[in-house]
Structure 1
Amino acid sequence: MTRASYRRYLSTLMLVLLSCACLVCAFVYIVDPYNLYGAVRRENFNAVKPGLSRYQSQIKHAHALRLQPSFIILGNSRAEMGFDPRAAAFGAMQGDGYNMGIPGTAMAMAISQFAQLTQAGIKPGTVIVGIEFIDFLKPAVAPPVRTEASSGHVPGFWRFDALFSLASVKDAVKTPFIQHDRAAFTIAPSGLNPALDYGAHAVRDGYYKVFKHRAQKSAARFVKMSKADFADGDFQAMHDFLVAMSATQADIKLVIYPYHAQMLTLFEGAGLWPLFEEWKQQVVLEVASVKKQYPSARISVTDFSGFGLYNCEPIPTQQQRHASTRWYWEAGHFKRALGDIVMQRVMTQKDEAPVDGQFGMLLTGATLAANRDRIAAERSACVAAQPEMFLFSQKLFARPLEDAPTDN
């Protein structure tokens, strides 16, 4: 091969590679699996987007920047799957809302998300924050300190990787095939995870198995938590977060998640119940402290935990293989139907008890005792109605728990 022909070969090869790269980028750009570009949106082609498995915070931040939401929802997977920004409760609000919930994250993520929005000039009028008791716990034995190597990614690298990477091509190829898949992992334009894959899993395996599996994993995690105190700095971080949100004059609505009663029996079995009560009191104290510092701050705390009519929903038995539930996927994750009720209670903020009990009780220093009494009375009724659920938790903690992998 002569030098001239060798140069032609290299030039042709480079041109082919460059053309292929451009075609890949164009394909991902047009299909737009992460809803970042908006060049093409067609039903039966790319209207339904696959769920986010990477760059979740960055992509949701980009969505919020484009949407300029008037209200946002922050939290973990419970919020992402349960709180719909398009629920009827928000019908009277001006502008759109966006669900920024990210699975497996703690309050530090919510703090970071809110800070990034305000730095970009976006100041939502209402901020709904799902607060997680479990995130404030610390391991009984401190885990070894890990030194994480730098990823080497420069700021903004995720945008390049979201357009030009094998993972992006795979998601782009997947997109047309999930348009009518009722069991696909997807994300709505509002940031909500409609939990289609959760529903398919429950139908396939049965709700009894789904509840049992989640309970076993949660119990294995809870027994490893300290029963004496909370993680260092978490309440200070909450205080600073509330101050930052109050500075934007936002209406801040803190929501204690509506755990299924089975989850609360796991708190009891693991010896975490006293900390659960103390945590609520501390949350109320932090809110009062911020309100004292900023009298104009609008902050409310609504407790949806307990053993009430919704929380104590019967769990299908092993024999009820095809039975379904109305309010819960399993003890940790509630369905959108219950999330809509939660949002209605949060947005109306009525002090009087709802017709179905005190589901959604406003917490203040003056109502903490009444809230404890409310939960105690609900527990007695739930024990009478669902004794097998309490017995299951007792048996679960009566034997050594396996070191099963846990998630949030």
Structure 2
Amino acid sequence: MRQHLRRYLFSLLAALTLLCAAAVGVSWAVDPYRIFHTAVEGEPVEGIGPFTRITKPYMARNIAPRILLAGSSRAEYALVPSEAERLLGEGPAFNAALSGPNIYEVRRMIDHANGVGNVRTLVLGLDFYMFNAQLAPQDAFSDARLAVTPEGTGNRLGWLSDLPLALLSIDTLEAVRKAQKYRGRGDPCQDIWYRDGTRLPGLLECEAATNRGFRDSTSSTLKFYLTSKTLYKDYRMAPNGLADAAHILEEAAARGQRVVLYFSPVQALHLGAIDKAGLWPLFETWKKEIFRLAERARKEGADIALWDYARLSPLTAVTLPPENEEPWQGAFYDSHHVRPEVGKRMIAEMLAAGAERPEAGGVRLTASNLDDELAHQRAAFLAWWQAHEEARIFLNDALPEESR
């Protein structure tokens, strides 16, 4: 009896071992997170949208960047690594931007890139919402996989932290199923990444392909920002947000990096959302605090510049198109994402590479112009807002009735 039981248990154990080995083999071969198989130059990487916080640290290890582009999805879509390489005449460049991060996640991705590469130039897009105290790191984010600990020490074995998840877990098997279903479909409405972190906005292109689509995308994003507590509803500044920004600048100064900071462009309608939420005074204070940190780093010898695109300008003063099916070809996909073509103009303006410096609607903030510029921004926005009744109606209609 005992012998039969032992044989049964042995057979069961062998079957489970084979099953686990098969699952590990399939997970490794399909590699839904793209952490085992390095993409070659020009190879599209599909289906990693939910997993970029897992995938991008491994991409950065493979690239070992000298030029780092960082920020949120606004920077991920707008800033093209190959364009930065062309303008600066060196590389490699890597886009480490993430979708919807708080400032801590941004800081840690920059720490990681510094740990795996020799970053000489940092271009960082900053967004007001990143500093919301109610915006926590997303579930897929993990300090354990990064090359540098939060305390600043090396973490050489960080890449091992994802092996259990990536090879044998229910989540990975589900990711394998989806990868098999969606990869290689040639869907033009699917976002595509490349090994340098470039993200092609297939979904946004489809959603904003027409005037009606652009209006719908703008309306839905305005509603999302004004009704989400992790964005503008009941906004309050994170206690450690400015400390994280200061850490980025101090580390860059210690490494002798060139730093280009910028406030990301948003539509005038999005500025209207900030104003409607009663956040404009805090929005201005945030800009001043970032400037103060940048100026302190500059006085200590850092090569640093701060540009402001989150202002009324010919770029952001978008006139709403008629609600029809005519193609939409404006600079924005929605209330806050610009096309890569605009990002190329921005990065050329900020880097001032040679004679190539096209006007992109930004202004460089300095000690001599800061207060006047912010006062001008407020006055210019109020004048535009008062003159565009259709914009005020559009923003009001975007909100649920109880929020108007």
Partner of 1:361: 363
Q: 1:365–1:394: structure 2 CA closer, same or farther, 3 Å change rule?
A: farther
Q: In the TM superposition, what is the alpha-carbon distance from 1:89 to its structure 2 partner?
A: 6.4
Match of 1:334 among 324, 335, 338: 338
Partner of 1:193: 199
Q: Structure 1, residues 68-118: CA drift from partner, whole Å, max 9, x if none?
A: 011112212222232221236644432221111122212111222233344
- Give me the whole-angstrom Cα distance separating, in 1, the residues matched to 2:113 and 2:260: 18
CA contact (8 A) 2:265 2:309 kept: yes
Q: In the TM superposition, what is the alpha-carbon distance from 1:252 to its structure 2 partner?
A: 0.9
Q: 1:322–1:33: structure 2 CA closer, same or farther, 3 Å change rule?
A: farther
Partner of 2:59: 63
Letter in 1 for 2:79: F
1:299 aligns with 2:299: no
1:225 aligns with 2:225: no
- Give me the whole-angstrom Cα distance separating, in 1, the residues matched to 2:294 and 2:38: 44
- Equivalence map 1:5-404=2 (5 Å): 5-38=4-37, 47-54=44-51, 56-87=52-83, 90-118=86-114, 120=115, 122-137=117-132, 156-176=160-180, 177-179=182-184, 180-203=186-209, 206-221=213-228, 222-225=232-235, 230-292=237-299, 294-295=300-301, 297-317=302-322, 319-348=323-352, 356=359, 359-372=361-374, 375=377, 379=381, 382-383=384-385, 386-393=388-395, 400-401=402-403
CA contact (8 A) 1:30 1:40 kept: no
Partner of 2:152: none
Greater shift, 373-382 or 69-78, is seen at 373-382
Unaligned stretches of 5+ in structure 1?
403-408
Q: In the TM superposition, what is the alpha-carbon distance from 1:331 to its structure 2 partner?
A: 0.7
CA contact (8 A) 1:33 1:49 kept: no
Q: 1:167–1:234: structure 2 CA closer, same or farther, 3 Å change rule?
A: closer
Partner of 2:153: none
Greater shift, 380-389 or 6-15, is seen at 380-389
RMSD: 3.6
Letter in 2 for 1:128: V
Describe the SS at the equivalent of 2:260.
strand
Q: 1:26–1:233: structure 2 CA closer, same or farther, 3 Å change rule?
A: closer
- Give me the whole-angstrom Cα distance separating, in 1, the residues matched to 2:386 and 2:358: 21
Describe the SS at the equivalent of 2:197.
coil
- Give me the whole-angstrom Cα distance separating, in 2, the residues matched to 1:42 and 1:264: 39
Partner of 1:405: none
Letter in 2 for 1:362: R
Unaligned stretches of 5+ in structure 2?
146-157
- Give me the whole-angstrom Cα distance separating, in 2, the residues matched to 1:301 and 1:272: 22
CA contact (8 A) 1:123 1:248 kept: no
Q: TM-score, normalised by structure 1?
A: 0.79
Greater shift, 156-165 or 389-398, is seen at 389-398
CA contact (8 A) 2:102 2:132 kept: no
- Give me the whole-angstrom Cα distance separating, in 1, the residues matched to 2:7 and 2:351: 68
Q: Structure 1, residues 337-389: CA drift from partner, whole Å, max 9, x if none?
A: 2222222222217999x765x61211111122453366367547855885411
Q: Structure 1, residues 125-173: CA drift from partner, whole Å, max 9, x if none?
A: 111111112233557xxx9x9xx9xx9x997442221122233233334
Tell me the matched-pair count.
Answer: 380
Q: 1:93–1:20: structure 2 CA closer, same or farther, 3 Å change rule?
A: farther
Letter in 1 for 2:194: A
Describe the SS at the equivalent of 2:81.
coil
Letter in 2 for 1:234: G
* Percentage of pairs with the same residue: 19
Letter in 1 for 2:319: P
Letter in 2 for 1:81: Y
CA contact (8 A) 2:68 2:93 kept: yes
CA contact (8 A) 1:34 1:49 kept: no
CA contact (8 A) 2:64 2:113 kept: no
CA contact (8 A) 1:259 1:305 kept: yes
Q: TM-score, normalised by structure 2?
A: 0.80
Q: In the TM superposition, what is the alpha-carbon distance from 1:303 to its structure 2 partner?
A: 0.7
